[in-house]
Amino acid sequence: MSSRTLPRSFPKKELLMSYKPLYHIFSDGAFLNDPNGLLYENGQYHVFYQWNPSYPGGKRVGWAHRCSTDLIHWTELPPALLPDNWYDRCGCYSGSAVMKDGKIHLLYTGNVRDDGCERETYQCLAASDDGEHFTKYAGNPLLSGPAAGYTAHFRDPKVFADQNGYAFVLGAQTTDEHGRALLYRSPDLLSWKLDGALQFDDPELDDFGYMWECPNLFELPDAATLQKHAVLLFCPQGLKPWGMRFRNRYQCGYIVAPRTFNGTGAFIGGSAFEEIDRGFEFYAPQIFSAGKRTLMIGWMGMPEEEDQPSAQENWMHCLTVPRTVWMENRKLFQWPVEELDGLHGEKQSISLLPLENEAAKLPDFSGACYDMRLTFDTTRAQSLTLSLRQSEQQEIRITFADSVLRIDRSRSAYAPGDPVREVRLRHPEKLDLRILSDRSAMEIYVNGGEEVFSLRCYLEEDAVHTHVGIQGKAVLTKGEFYPMHA
Q: Which residues contact 116 (CB under 8 A, 6 or more apart)?
A: none
CB 317 within 8 A of CB 67: no
What are the beta bridge partners of residue 434? 373, 445
User: Which residue, 273 or 283, is less far from ligand FRU as judged by CB?
Assistant: 283
Known catalytic membership, residue 34: yes
User: Which residue, 235 or 444, is less far from ligand FRU as judged by CB?
Assistant: 235
> H/E/C letters for each residue in the chain?
CEEEECCCCCCCCCCCCCCCCCCCCECCCCEEEEEEEEEEECCEEEEEEEEECCCCCCCCCEEEEEEECCCCCCEEEEEEECCCCCCCCCCEEEEEEEEECCEEEEEEEEEEECCCCCEEEEEEEEEECCCCCCEECCCCCCEECCCCCEEEEEEEEEEEEECCEEEEEEEEEECCCCEEEEEEEECCCCCCEEEEECCCCCHHHHHCCCEEEEEEEEEEEECCCCCEEEEEEEEEECCCCECCECCCCCCCEEEECCCCCCCCCCCCCCCCCEECCCCCCCEEEEEEEECCEEEEEEEECCCCCCCCHHHHHCCECEECCCEEEEEECCEEEEEECHHHHHHECCCEEEEEEEEEEEEEECCCCCCCEEEEEEEEECCCEEEEEEEEEECCCCCEEEEEECCEEEEECCCCCCCCCCCEEEEECCCCCEEEEEEEEECCEEEEEEHHHCEEEEEECCCCCCCCEEEEEEEEEEEEEEEEEEEECC
Give phi and psi for 342, each to the nearest 5: -65, -10
Residues that bind ligand FRU (CB under 6 A): 33-34, 50, 61, 93-94, 109, 155-156, 213-214, 283-284, 303
Longest dimension (CA), the chain: 72
User: Which residue, 284 or 398, is less far from ligand FRU as judged by CB?
Assistant: 284
Least distance (Å) between residue 116 CB and ligand FRU: 21
User: Which residue, 156 or 371, is less far from ligand FRU as judged by CB?
Assistant: 156
User: Which residue, 108 or 370, is less far from ligand FRU as judged by CB?
Assistant: 108
Report the amino acid identity of residue 315. W
Catalytic site residue from 28, 34, 162, 176? 34
Least distance (Å) between residue 154 CB and ligand FRU: 10
Least distance (Å) between residue 281 CB and ligand FRU: 12
Least distance (Å) between residue 159 CB and ligand FRU: 14
User: Which residue, 156 or 443, is less far from ligand FRU as judged by CB?
Assistant: 156
User: Which residue, 94 or 248, is less far from ligand FRU as judged by CB?
Assistant: 94
Least distance (Å) between residue 286 CB and ligand FRU: 11
Least distance (Å) between residue 213 CB and ligand FRU: 4
User: Which residue, 283 or 333, is less far from ligand FRU as judged by CB?
Assistant: 283
The strand order across the sheet containing 31-41 reads 31-41, 44-52, 62-68, 75-81
Least distance (Å) between residue 268 CB and ligand FRU: 25
Least distance (Å) between residue 34 CB and ligand FRU: 5
Least distance (Å) between residue 211 CB and ligand FRU: 8
User: Which residue, 302 or 459, is less far from ligand FRU as judged by CB?
Assistant: 302
Indicate which residues carry an active-site annotation. Answer: 34
